[in-house]
Amino acid sequence: MTDLFKKYLLADHSTRVQVVKLGHAWRTGMAHQSYPESVEKLLGELVSAAVLLASNIKFDGALVLQLQGDGPVALIVVECTTDLSIRATVSLREGQEIPEDGTLQSLLNPNGNGRFIVVLDPDREKTNMQPYQGVVPLEGNTVAGVLESYMRGSEQLDTRLWLASNPEYSSGLLLQRLPRHGGSAHVDDASADETWARVSHLASTIKYDELLALDADELVHRLFWQEDLVAYEPQEVRWHCPCNRERVGNMLRTLGREEIEDLLSERESIEVLCNFCGKPYHFDAVDCAGLFADGAGASAEGKPSIH
Ligand SMILES: [Zn+2]
């Protein structure tokens, strides 16, 4: 089973274990993209990280994770809503070669000006919470390393992450030590320290390929079969870009009839690529005439590139 997020809790309530495994959703997201392999791998890891962290947000809205770079990769951004709907995009610097064995640091931080940005974006219609943005230097050799150091510094939560991606799957495992709550039945600090050290060690035995190959329950059983865990119902994760033909049509309409006719004089149809998911939309002369026939105006959908 893929495209699922699953949460488990250690029976003593000291530690949360979360697993995500994306298959179809991940391939859907990449269907119209052709990122270099080393870049797609970083994106896939950031995608699973976003699902794991968004699932813990207590309000309706979205989590946006951005890796901003000063090297061949300018930006990798993933948005995951609190109902686990994802979209993501990458922006590469023109004219800069992307090495096949490129790493997080060589692709995004060769000059040390890379940044990791976390945005919590509450849904204004459902909550009056303010958006929050955290910015930290791009420290760490892996996406998981960057996030762990952010969580330690900004959230003051002991969090361990294991992330993996290939062209078929994007998956991740998160361990988080939960704060103590007064009054509830819980274990003492020394015992909680020991539990955290033990489960962290167990989780760290996971191999990159195993993380990609195993389902959530298989993975958790393989690592924690001796632990007493409570499992929650899995949640579905989907890839969703809000682009559609109507929105793209509205964007073309805002260019004006003259500009559209100019574009059509040079080609048979206009191809518009959604600049988030890369999905192509084609408008030929008849489609374009239809855009202006009803005379309706509407707002633009981003700034897609026209070919
Ligand atoms: Zn799109």
Residue 130 pLDDT: 85
% of the chain with per-residue pLDDT over 90 = 66
Q: How far is the CA of 234 from the centre of ligand 1 (A)?
A: 27
Model pLDDT, residue 126 = 85
Q: What is the dihedral of CA 209, 212, 215, 218, to 10 degrees?
A: 20
Check: CB of residue 147 under 8 Å from CB of residue 94: no
Whether 178 has a pLDDT exceeding 60, the answer reads yes
Please identify every residue whose CB atom is under 5 Å from ligand 1, which is an ion.
241, 243, 274, 276-277, 279
42 or 243, higher pLDDT: 42
Indicate the SS3 state at residue 149.
helix
- Integer Cα distance of 138 and 116 in angstroms: 5
For domain 245-306, the CATH class is alpha beta
Domains in the chain: boundaries: 4-239, 245-306
pLDDT at 27 over 50: yes
Which tokens is 265 given?
A: 């004089």
Could you report the per-residue pLDDT of 115-160, keeping only the tens digit for each?
999 999 998 888 888 889 999 999 899 999 999 999 988 877 899 9
CA of 5 to the centre of ligand 1 (A): 23
Cα dihedral: 200, 201, 207, 213 (round 10): -50
pLDDT of 160: 96
pLDDT digits (tens, 9 = 90+) for 131-143: 899 999 998 999 9
- Between CA 155 and CA 138 the distance in angstroms is 16
What pLDDT was estimated at residue 293?
82
- 52 pLDDT tier (thresholds 50, 70, 90): very high
The pLDDT of residue 276: 79
Alpha-carbon distance 35 to 9, whole Å?
A: 37
Helix (H, G, I), strand (E, B) or coil at 33: coil
89 C-alpha to center of ligand 1: Å?
A: 10
State mean pLDDT over 284-304.
68
Could you tell me the two tokens for 131?
A: 């958006």
CATH, domain range 4-239: 3.55.30.10
**What mean pLDDT value characterizes the chain?**
90
| Cα distance between residue 183 and residue 95, in whole Å | 60
What is the per-residue pLDDT for 307? 58
Q: Does the pLDDT at position 300 exceed 50?
A: no
pLDDT of residue 302: 46
How many A from CA of 277 to the centre of ligand 1?
Answer: 4
User: What's the 274 CA to ligand 1 centre distance in angstroms?
Assistant: 5
User: What's residue 43's pLDDT?
Assistant: 97
Residue type, 96: Q
> Sheet containing 280-284: which strands, arranged edge to edge?
280-284, 269-273, 305-306
DSSP 97: -
Q: Compute, in angstroms, the gap from residue 276 CA to the centroid of ligand 1.
A: 5
CA of 112 to the centre of ligand 1 (A): 32
3-state secondary structure 40-85: HHHHHHHHHHHHHHHCCCCCCEEEEEEEECCCCEEEEEEEEECCCE
Reported as a single tens digit per residue, the pLDDT across 58-108 is 889 999 999 999 999 999 999 999 999 999 999 999 888 898 899 999 999
Q: Please state which of the ranges 22-26, 96-100, 300-304 shows the lowest mean pLDDT.
A: 300-304
Q: How far is the CA of 239 from the centre of ligand 1 (A)?
A: 10
pLDDT on residue 100: 87
Closest CA to 67 of 49, 83, 86: 49
Number of helices (H) and strands (E) in the chain: give both, helices first: 10, 15
DSSP for 187-250 reads --HHHHHHHHHHHHHHHTT--HHHHHHS-HHHHHHHHHTTS-EEEPPPEE-EE-----HHHHHH
